[in-house]
Amino acid sequence: MTAARTWLRCPRPLRWPALRLVCFPHAGGNAAFYRPWAAHLPDDVELHAVQYPGRMDRTGEPFAADLPSLAAGVASALRALPGDVPVVLFGHSLGASVAYETARRLDGPGGGLRALVVSGRPAPDRLRDTRVHLADDDTLWAETGRLGGTGRETLEHDGVKAVALPVLRADYRIAETWRPEPPVPLRAPVLACIGADDPEVTVDEANAWAARTRGRFTLHTFGGGHFYLLAHRHRLVETILRATHRSPVPTWSAAGP
């Protein structure tokens, strides 16, 4: 259980969960971002939020070297959880890329992957070529304000900025230097969710996730920008559960995927 306790935060552990919803934070984010989601889940769904190294209670640990190693750590932690419980992976922005890499590691016999849900992120082959992680501190911090999700009072607090900037730069670095492997479509279905006014992803870029699954693909659009999920938390959780909770876990032939 050591790996699970290192990587996962579970605000409401269940004795016999029917499903585990595993959530991956955006750049600069942490596991606490998803704690309010527990109030929107039915009694048989267990919430796990991923805590990346180098922040909150993992301050002092080195940041992830790259995105695949980050996903490998999470996949190992999920395999260490007790019981044969199906999992749905949800990731927003950077978290969508980490969730996808994690899904690739669980999408096989015994992995228990029921579905992948990606939010606010173009498909891997449609990612934009940006170098924000190489920018000066003021430019990097302005990026946080541009995308919303952070209050003005927080943005103007020098102490918060000093603590948050190294985390933000490290997260942008692994996101912008990630070079995805050639696509091997998942057997699990994929649900993509975006804000209608999100400058970070277009409908066309989100629809390109369809090529990453041999299963069902669905795109759902909400009102709002990049952080649409703050205003639509309840509807988003409902959409995820409606699309994935009672879906059967994919089965595999003896030869595997």
Would you tell me how many other CB atoms lie within 10 Å of the CB of residue 174? 22
Is residue 119 annotated as a catalytic residue, yes or no? no
Helix (H, G, I), strand (E, B) or coil at 41: coil
Q: How far is CA 159 from CA 102, 155, 164, in A?
A: 33, 10, 9
Helix (H, G, I), strand (E, B) or coil at 106: helix
- The whole-angstrom separation of Cα 90 and Cα 21 is 7
Question: Which one is catalytic: 69, 76, 93, 119?
Answer: 93
Q: How far is CA 82 from CA 14, 77, 89, in A?
A: 11, 11, 17
**How big is the CA angle at 218 (ends 73 and 9), to the nearest 5 degrees?**
30
- The whole-angstrom separation of Cα 53 and Cα 96 is 17
- The whole-angstrom separation of Cα 188 and Cα 133 is 32
The backbone torsions φ and ψ at residue 9, rounded to the nearest 5 degrees and listed phi first, read: -120, 125
Would you tell me how many other CB atoms lie within 10 Å of the CB of residue 158? 7
Which positions are annotated as active-site residues? 93
